[in-house]
């Protein structure tokens, strides 16, 4: 029996690992799979709600790392995960994405001599001021196997000297989760509860420290949202970091058409994305989800590590300045929506491909059918 351990910690990890857990079930005669939750995100709205909506198996271990500086959070992940690695000696560790839990777990497992795979490898924004970029570069410098979501990821890894036999362009497991919950989102009652008509609102998420920890930058976003609110309702689920800044800083009031909400579960969030007129965000994953749903997305950032969403999808990168953002919003509101194309292999089956690579290429087991 081969033992695989996946590490999750923060919100975006959950949708990336959930489909892999299901796909590895096909190989349950040969492979056991367990999940470690670092506890980087710990509120029920930031964590438990996702386990429920994604129907993920409960973590076998919970490290209870919580919040803290980058160093203390990463160190706590390493310390907690090391004892699991030493005790359990898994044959493979899977880390996902670019959060502090990703690099903390990868550093630990690699140093324990355990083969380690990175899901969503190779993405690069080329902006080293982003903590996620450092996490991505550092993780890819040390892991053994690379599961990639888009061609830019393959190109970046090859340029960095990774052997192509270790790179697996499998598609996007976040889109596997999105397509799986999409029918459930169609039955969600959140639009009715919030008295929203489809296409009558903009959905907004902001959580990047550079946007929300700085009072003048957050003020700019309030002005932007108040501008959008003249044409559309604005639905604004608040990340705890954003909520804290809004409460602590003395800022202009939000227009009454801006609806601030607590963080939403995954199914409700997907329902709101599907029916929005546009999405305004600084997130990484939402650029991909809106591309898959063909919803116009304005990403308030200077760079993206997911260029395919701009080249093929519905994503537009806009400098996080008021005039540029207002102009981009006005043009989406007045012009017919760009339909975009779905990137290669964003078809809902990425996790099956990952499971096949793990079973056949990494462990040398025979293939299993999908049924
Ligand atoms: C982290 C990731 C970011 C990802 C985001 C998704 C890193 C470096 N950043 O950022 O890439 O896009 O998750 O949300 O790993 N908090 C709570 N409850 C929680 C979790 C956090 O109240 O369950 C608050 C705490 O005050 C904490 C703050 O949110 O200090 C930030 O949490 P943290 O995990 O440090 O980073 P995120 O901003 O969530």
Ligand 1 centre from 356 Cα, in Å? 32
pLDDT at 151: 98
Mean pLDDT of 284-295: 98
Query: Ligand 1: which residue has its CA nearest to atom 35?
Result: 67
How far from the centroid of its chain's Cα atoms is residue 109's Cα?
Answer: 22
Q: Which of 207, 227, 248, 344 is catalytic?
A: 207
Ligand 1 centre from 227 Cα, in Å? 28
Ligand 1 centre from 10 Cα, in Å? 7
**122 Ramachandran zone, left/alpha/beta (phi>0; psi -120 to 50):** left
Task: Report the range of poorest mean pLDDT among 122-131, 180-189, 320-329, 331-340.
Answer: 331-340
Q: Ligand 1: which of 207, 211, 245, 300 to mutate, judged by most atoms within 8 Å of the beta carbon?
A: 207
Q: Ligand 1: which of 41, 62, 205 to mutate, judged by most atoms within 8 Å of the beta carbon?
A: 41
Instruction: Determine what percent of the chain is predicted with pLDDT higher than 90.
Output: 95
Among the listed residues 134, 130, 65, the one whose alpha carbon sits nearest the alpha carbon of residue 101: 65
Query: Ligand 1: which residue has its CA nearest to atom 14?
Result: 11
207 classed as catalytic:
yes
**Nearest atom of ligand 1 to the alpha carbon of 97:** 11
Q: Is residue 329 within 8 Å of 224, Cβ to Cβ?
A: yes
Which strand ranges, in their side-by-side order, compose the sheet holding 278-281? 258-261, 233-237, 201-205, 278-281, 297-299, 315-317
Mean pLDDT of 163-172: 98
**Nearest atom of ligand 1 to the alpha carbon of 10:** 13
Sequence-distant (6+) residues with CB within 8 A of 109 are 81, 85, 90, 93, 95, 116
Ligand 1 centre from 208 Cα, in Å? 9
Burial of residue 56, with CB atoms counted within 10 A of its CB: 0-12 exposed, 13-18 middle, 19 or more buried: buried
Burial of residue 184, with CB atoms counted within 10 A of its CB: 0-12 exposed, 13-18 middle, 19 or more buried: middle
Backbone angles phi, psi at 235, to 5 degrees: -110, 125
Ligand 1 centre from 41 Cα, in Å? 6
- 226-283 pLDDT per residue, tens: 999 999 999 999 999 999 999 988 888 999 999 999 999 999 999 999 999 999 999 9
pLDDT at 368: 74
**Nearest atom of ligand 1 to the alpha carbon of 98:** 11
**Nearest atom of ligand 1 to the alpha carbon of 100:** 15
Sequence-distant (6+) residues with CB within 8 A of 216 are none
Query: Ligand 1: which residue has its CA nearest to atom 9?
Result: 99
Calculate the alpha carbon distances from 271 to 219, 274, 311, 339 in Å.
28, 5, 25, 19
- 75-94 pLDDT per residue, tens: 999 999 999 999 999 999 99
**Nearest atom of ligand 1 to the alpha carbon of 131:** 8
- 95-116 pLDDT per residue, tens: 999 999 999 999 999 999 999 9
Q: Ligand 1: which of 50, 78, 101, 239 to mutate, judged by most atoms within 8 Å of the beta carbon?
A: 239
Query: Ligand 1: which residue has its CA nearest to atom 22?
Result: 240
How far from the centroid of its chain's Cα atoms is residue 232's Cα?
Answer: 26
Query: Ligand 1: which residue has its CA nearest to atom 26?
Result: 241
Query: Ligand 1: which residue has its CA nearest to atom 27?
Result: 67
Please check the confidence at residue 371 and state whether its pLDDT lies above 60: no
Pocket of ligand 1 (CB under 6 A): 10-12, 40-43, 46, 67, 98-100, 131-132, 207, 239-241
Mean pLDDT of 145-172: 98
Please check the confidence at residue 50 and state whether its pLDDT lies above 90: yes
Query: Ligand 1: which residue has its CA nearest to atom 20?
Result: 41
pLDDT at 370: 65
Among the listed residues 164, 120, 111, the one whose alpha carbon sits nearest the alpha carbon of residue 142: 111
| Beta strands at 2-8 and 31-37: parallel, antiparallel or unpaired | parallel
pLDDT at 339: 83
Ligand 1 centre from 325 Cα, in Å? 25
């Amino acid at each position: 029996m081969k033992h695989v351990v996946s590490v999750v910690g923060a919100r975006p990890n959950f949708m990336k690992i959930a489909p892999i857990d299901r796909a590895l079930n096909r190989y349950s005669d040969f492979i056991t799979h367990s999940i470690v939750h670092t506890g980087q995100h710990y509120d029920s709205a930031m964590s438990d709600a996702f386990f429920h909506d994604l129907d993920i198996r409960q973590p076998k271990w919970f490290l209870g790392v919580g919040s803290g500086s980058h160093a203390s959070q990463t160190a706590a992940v390493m310390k907690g995960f090391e004892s699991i690695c030493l005790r359990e000696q898994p044959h493979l560790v899977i880390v996902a994405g670019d959060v502090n839990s990703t690099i903390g777990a990868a550093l630990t497992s690699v140093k324990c001599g355990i083969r380690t795979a990175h899901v969503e490898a190779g993405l690069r924004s080329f902006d080293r001021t982003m903590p996620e970029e450092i996490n991505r570069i550092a993780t890819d410098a040390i892991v053994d196997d690379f599961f990639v979501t888009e061609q830019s990821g393959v190109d970046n890894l090859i340029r960095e000297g990774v052997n192509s036999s270790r790179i697996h362009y499998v598609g996007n497991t976040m889109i596997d989760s999105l397509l799986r919950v999409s029918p459930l989102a169609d039955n969600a009652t959140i639009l009715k509860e919030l008295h929203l008509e489809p296409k009558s609102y903009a959905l907004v998420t902001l959580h990047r420290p550079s946007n929300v920890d700085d009072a003048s930058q957050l003020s700019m976003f309030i002005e932007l949202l108040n501008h959008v609110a003249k044409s559309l309702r604005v639905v604004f689920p608040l990340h705890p970091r954003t909520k804290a800044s809004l409460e602590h800083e003395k800022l202009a009031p939000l227009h009454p058409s801006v609806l601030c909400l607590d963080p939403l579960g995954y199914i409700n969030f997907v329902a709101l994305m599907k029916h929005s007129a546009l999405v305004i965000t600084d997130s990484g994953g939402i650029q991909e989800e809106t591309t898959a749903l063909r919803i116009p997305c304005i990403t308030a950032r200077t760079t993206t590590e997911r260029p395919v969403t701009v080249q093929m999808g519905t994503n537009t990168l806009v400098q996080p300045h008021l005039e540029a953002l207002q102009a981009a919003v006005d043009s989406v509101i007045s012009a017919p929506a760009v339909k975009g194309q779905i990137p290669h292999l964003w078809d809902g089956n990425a996790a099956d491909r990952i499971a096949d690579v793990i079973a056949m290429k990494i462990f040398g087991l025979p293939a299993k059918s999908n049924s």
